[in-house]
Amino acid sequence: MAKSINSRLLVGILALILVCGLFVSVKAWNSKAAPTLTDQWFTYHGDTQNRTDIENPENYTLLDAEPPCSGGAELCSVQAPAGAQGEAVLETALVNEIMGVIDTRISTNTIKLRN
């Protein structure tokens, strides 16, 4: 009788371990890590300083290093996340910050102006 109880207890513990291991394996298999975007410097070459041009990723070129921007009233460069194809990823908050820098004409560490 004692062997029967011990056997059932052992089978129950092993079943519990198997179910927990299966749960962890399936959860890990289903979870996909979000890609990490790295901030890079981009130079701006849009035609105007309006919001439509500022938020268009095609108006930016990826740079190897921070460009020498001398200050002024027009957008020169911005540090933004680089997408998979090397394009600037321009979230709404970043575009709002860029527009604020243009309005105040005061460069920041990540948004540079030129004449």
Using one digit for the tens of pLDDT, what is the confidence trace for 72-99? Answer: 999 999 999 999 899 999 999 999 999 9
Cα-Cα-Cα-Cα dihedral of 51, 55, 60, 62, to 10°?
140
**How much is the pLDDT for 43?**
97
A 10 A CB-CB count for 35 gives 8
Residues 6+ apart with CB under 8 A from 29: none
Mean pLDDT of 100-113: 95
**pLDDT of 54-64, one tens digit each?**
999 999 999 99
Angle CA(114)–CA(48)–CA(101) in degrees, nearest 5? 50
More confident residue, 24 or 49: 49
**pLDDT of 31-54, one tens digit each?**
565 567 789 999 999 999 999 999
**How much is the pLDDT for 33?**
58
pTM (predicted TM-score)? 0.69
**How much is the pLDDT for 110?**
95
Angle CA(96)–CA(97)–CA(98) in degrees, nearest 5? 90
More confident residue, 11 or 91: 91
Q: Where are the domains of the chain?
A: 1-32, 39-114
Mean pLDDT of 12-29: 59
Q: Among all chains, which residue has been given the structure tokens 């460009």? A: 67
